Each structure stands twice: as C-alpha cells, then as structure tokens.
C-alpha cells in the first residue's frame, strides 16, 4: 500500500472533567455530558457505546472542536483544543459528501481547503484506490450506494492525514454485509496509518470487533460509566469464546442480560 | 457504391425523421390552429377588424417592418441585459451577505422586506425625476426588479446550507472563504437559480413597462405606439417577436442552469 509509506502516527487525547449543557427551547439547561474524563493513547482504537442520549456524539463534537465545552479541558498531544482542525477528521453516519462535487473532488476537498492541492495531488488517486472507488472517481455522490459514499467520506477524511479520526456511527446506516466489510476496511486503514480512532457506535459486536478498549456511557445526564479493555487477538473472530464472553458482560452492564424484567 | 451513397445521403433524413416523429403532433396542431385562425379572420370574417388581422397579414407586417422590429429588439436586448446583469450582480452579493453574516442579516432583512415587495414599476415616476437619462432609469428599475427575488432566494439558500456540510468542511481545515465560496454558495445554487428565473420574469415585465412610459425605443415602445395608431397587425407582430425573444432568453438561462447544476441530474426535475 503506497499511502502507508507516508505514515503519520496518531496523537494522544486527554479529556478532563468535560461537561456540556444544551439550552432547550423553554430556556432550561439540559446536561448532555457530565464531567467526562478519558485518556486515549496515540494510535489506539477506542469505541464509545451506550444508549441514545448518553452524550457520545456530543463528546465527539467537542473533540472535533465543533462545540465548546461548558466546563473542563480537552488536549490533543498536550495542546488544548481550540476549534476545528484538519488534524482531527470527522465522519458522520450520513456520508455528507458535497453533492455538487464528483468523488474525486470530494476526496481532494481537504487538500483544497488547506491550500496544498498542488503538492499533494498524487495522494488523491492513492486514497481513491485505497477505498476501492477508482471506477467511480468521476461520479456524483447521488450515483453512489450507501457503502460507496461512506468509503468516499472516509477517504476524504483520511487524505488530510489526521492525527485523530472521529467516527460518529459511520456504518450505522449500512446493511449487515456491507457493514462487516467496511469494518475490515476501517481496520485496514487504521493498521496502515496508526491514526488514533474514536468510534461512536450502537453495535456492541462492532465495538468488540474493532477496538482496543470500549468506553461505556450512560444517559441523562451523559457520563462515562466504565472503560472495558478488549484483550483479544487481531483479527478477531466474532464467534470465539472470548468475544462472546465479553459481549454478554457488556450486555449485562447495559441491563440487557437475557431475562425480561417483570 | 450507389447504395453507400444513398446511405450517406439518407443520414440527415433519418435524424430529421425521428425529430419529425417526436414533434409531429404539436406541429400539426399548431398548423391547424393557424389555418383555423386564417379561416376565421380572412375567410369567414367572423372577427372585427382592425383588432383581429389574419396570421398571414401579421406575417406580412413583420416582414415589411423588419428593420424597425429588429432595431427595437436590439434596444430591448441591451436594456434587458444591462438591467438584469446589474440586478443579478448586486442581488448575489447582498444575498450572500444577508445569508451568511449575522449583522448583514439584521440590517438587510428589514430593508429587503419593506422595499422588496413594491413592484419595481411603481418606482418609475421617481426614477424619471432622479435619473439623468431615461435609459439609466430604466436599467435601474429593471435591476431593482431582479434584485429582490435574487437576493431573497440567495439569502435563504445560503442560510439553509446543511450544517453538517459546514461541519465537515471545518474538520477538513476550511477557512471562512472556503466555507462561503466552496460550500455555502454551491449548496445554495439550486435556490439561486430559482431566484434568477423569477428575476428574469420580473425583468421582462419591467422592461416592457419601462419602455412604454420612459424609454422611447424597444419592443414595449413599439407595441404601445402601434396600438395608438390602431395598427393591430404591428401589435401582433410585436407580440410574436416578444414571444420568440423572451423564450430564447429563458431557454438560454435553462441551458446555463443545466450546465451548472449538472450534479443534480436525476435528482430534481423542474
């Protein structure tokens, strides 16, 4: 893989006592995230799971610099986060490709935005090849399937060589088969580039399959409940004993363990 | 050899044939209507003259007055293009500003809401007094008529840019210029074109009125001047030329839109 040659290693991330409130329409403050603390080592793959409303996406937006925390601090590689930056890429559940640009121009938009298109032009083809969209490089987004669009979105985020890649349920809208194929694809990108990855997901299997550790969050107000390390050999077998054991342990913590509550 | 020659000679006719097949119903109905009109006017004389001359007479009038019609069309075109371009230019700038900047929105929106809905033609008396020449005042009035819809739709398009497009662009390292020119404006283009079409419609209307009352040239002037002399052949002639003139300009704008909004192909029809 050509792109792997120019490796940029990920950065460590530190989240310290971060809280975020949103103001509702009637003016009251709604806590979305309460005193969250988290340490992510450089090049680690972390998943955030928990029911909706537990502040996963809020935390991701804070790390991306798109929102400002009400209290607490966030650091990347020792530097405080002061706003969005090309060094922290973000991929949403909706690929959000720019519909007016072809796949190629979408992928290179990060280079254009940073004003480095001329020097880095050769990387555009590399990244399009990396996500397997060579044949669709001149197609407009509405001609792509969900999986293809999401791969293009990944390439667009990766081309800036971010130190941290934030994935907000990027595979949530895909069918089961495409989803599993995409999980391997993301892992391949991660292993090739050692980018620090934060993945928000609803899917416990996905979290176990992909991450070094899983951050379990609880809702209303959103807080970090527990951090579970995943000590399984890669590539992981979704039906191995260790996998299933971890899975039932997490289900238990989320109160979904087999028995129906009376 | 002869067969080959025939095949080559046949080619343009094959294309003509398929074109004819497609347009045959509409063309035949048009011919039928013209023949019917001819029969009613010249044949049976059911309609009173001079208000309803026959199609043949109208055609004759157009041919006889081709010089002045050509001249009027040319004058109208210049006036229309200058007014329209000015209105579009100012409208795009003010629309983008109002759509993007909070302060511009705060101060601009009330002006837009109060001034905008006044039909541009209502300003003609004032424009005639204020402006040094009738031509300039007509350009200003047409520009005003175009400015309102273009500004309104551009502003709404810009301010309704999907927030996630802007978020994505920010995490890609976009500057404010990138966000405005490469995200918000492209995202607003479908809306902007709606404004351009509405603006063109009001430009046609304003052009004809302005030529009737202010500028003493152009198709609008020719139309009212012919009416005053009760030369209805010329009135219909002017209407026919206007139909061709305006619809060609509309078609040109559609052509531009199809090129610019090629990425929408297959998603939106209008």
pLDDT in tens, B163-221: 999 999 999 999 999 999 999 999 999 999 999 999 999 999 999 999 988 788 899 99
| Across A28-32, B139-143, B241-245, least confident range | A28-32
Does residue A221 have a cis bond before it (omega within 30 degrees)?
yes
Q: Token pair of A128, please?
A: 């399009």
Partners of A160 on chain B (C-beta within 8 Å) are 172-173
B222 pLDDT tier (thresholds 50, 70, 90) = very high
Q: Which of A147, A97, A143 is nearest to B165 (CA)?
A: A97
Which residues are A197's β-sheet partners?
A45, A165
Partners of A158 on chain B (C-beta within 8 Å) are none
Contact B173 A98 (CB under 8 A): no
Of B171, B174, B265, the CB nearest to A88: B171
Partners of A65 on chain B (C-beta within 8 Å) are 170-171
Give the H/E segment covering residue A9: none
CB-based contact (8 Å) between B263 and chain A?
yes
**How many other C-beta atoms lie within 10 A of the C-beta of residue A12?**
17
Q: Provide the pLDDT for residue A3.
A: 42
Q: Which of A205, A145, A200, A208 is nearest to A169 (CA)?
A: A200
Q: Token pair of A192, please?
A: 């090739």
Contact A98 B171 (CB under 8 A): no
Q: Provide the pLDDT for residue A56.
A: 87
Q: Token pair of B246, please?
A: 């305006």
Of B173, B262, B267, the CB nearest to A113: B173
Q: Provide the pLDDT for residue A1.
A: 38
Cα B142 versus chain centre, distance: 12
Whether pTM exceeds 0.90? no
Give me the helices (H) in chain B, please: 2-38, 55-64, 66-100, 102-115, 124-130, 134-159, 163-171, 176-178, 185-213, 219-228, 232-260
Contact A86 B173 (CB under 8 A): yes
Q: Are strands A71-76 and A79-80 parallel, antiparallel or unpaired?
A: antiparallel
CB-based contact (8 Å) between B162 and chain A?
yes
CA distance B135 to chain A (A): 40
Contact B171 A90 (CB under 8 A): yes
pLDDT tens sequence across B21-69: 888 889 899 999 988 888 888 888 887 777 888 888 889 989 998 999 9
pLDDT tens sequence across B245-263: 999 999 999 999 999 998 8
Q: Token pair of A99, please?
A: 């519909």
Lookup result for tokens 């980018």:
A195
A262 pLDDT tier (thresholds 50, 70, 90) = very low
Whether the Cβ atoms of residue A76 and residue A164 lie closer than 8 Å to each other: yes
Q: Token pair of B239, please?
A: 């209407």
What SS3 state is found at A36? strand
């Amino acid at each position: 893989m050509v792109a792997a040659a120019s490796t940029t290693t990920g950065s460590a991330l530190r989240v310290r006592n971060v809280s975020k409130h949103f103001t509702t329409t009637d003016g009251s403050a709604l806590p979305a995230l309460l005193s969250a603390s988290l340490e992510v080592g450089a090049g680690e793959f972390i998943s955030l799971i928990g029911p909706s409303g537990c502040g996963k996406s809020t935390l991701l937006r804070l790390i991306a610099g798109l929102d400002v925390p009400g209290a607490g601090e966030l650091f990347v590689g020792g530097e405080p986060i002061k706003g969005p930056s090309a060094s922290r890429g973000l991929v949403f559940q909706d690929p959000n490709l720019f519909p007016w640009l072809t796949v190629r121009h979408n992928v290179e938009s990060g280079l254009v935005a940073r004003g480095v298109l001329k020097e880095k032009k050769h990387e555009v083809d590399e990244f399009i090849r990396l996500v397997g969209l060579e044949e669709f490089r001149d197609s407009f987004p509405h001609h792509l399937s969900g999986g293809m669009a999401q791969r293009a979105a990944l390439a667009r985020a990766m081309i800036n060589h971010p130190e941290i890649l934030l994935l907000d349920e990027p595979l949530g809208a895909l069918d089961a088969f495409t989803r599993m194929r995409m999980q391997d694809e993301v892992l391949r990108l991660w292993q090739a580039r050692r980018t620090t990855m934060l993945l928000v997901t609803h899917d416990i299997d996905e979290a176990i399959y992909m991450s070094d550790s899983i951050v379990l969050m609880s809702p209303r107000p959103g807080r970090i409940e527990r951090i579970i390390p995943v000590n399984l050999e890669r590539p992981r077998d979704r039906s191995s004993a260790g996998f299933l054991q971890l899975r039932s342990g997490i289900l238990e913590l989320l109160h979904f363990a087999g028995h129906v509550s009376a | 050899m002869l067969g080959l020659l025939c095949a080559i000679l046949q080619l343009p006719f094959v294309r003509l044939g398929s074109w004819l097949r497609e347009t045959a119903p509409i063309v035949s109905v048009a011919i039928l209507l013209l023949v019917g009109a001819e029969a009613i006017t010249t044949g049976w004389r059911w309609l009173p003259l001079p208000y309803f001359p026959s199609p043949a007479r109208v055609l004759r009038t157009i041919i006889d007055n081709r010089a002045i019609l050509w001249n009027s069309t040319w004058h109208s075109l210049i006036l229309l293009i200058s007014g329209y371009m000015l209105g579009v230019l100012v409208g795009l700038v003010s629309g983008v500003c109002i759509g993007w900047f909070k302060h511009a929105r705060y101060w601009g929106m009330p002006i837009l809401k109060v001034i905008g809905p006044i039909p541009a033609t209502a300003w003609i008396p004032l424009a005639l007094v204020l402006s040094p020449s009738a031509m300039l005042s007509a350009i200003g009035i047409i520009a005003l008529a175009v400015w309102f819809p273009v500004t309104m739709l551009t502003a709404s398009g810009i301010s309704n840019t999907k927030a996630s497009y802007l978020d994505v662009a920010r995490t890609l390292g976009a500057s404010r210029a990138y966000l405005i020119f490469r995200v918000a404006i492209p995202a607003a283009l479908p809306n902007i074109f709606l404004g351009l079409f509405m603006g063109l419609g009001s430009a046609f209307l304003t052009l004809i009125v302005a030529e009737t009352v202010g500028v003493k040239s152009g198709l609008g002037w020719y139309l009212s001047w012919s009416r005053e002399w009760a030369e209805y052949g010329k009135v219909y002639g002017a209407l026919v030329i206007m139909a061709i003139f305006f619809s060609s300009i509309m078609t040109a704008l559609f052509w531009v839109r199809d090129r610019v909004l090629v990425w929408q192909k297959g998603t939106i029809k209008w």
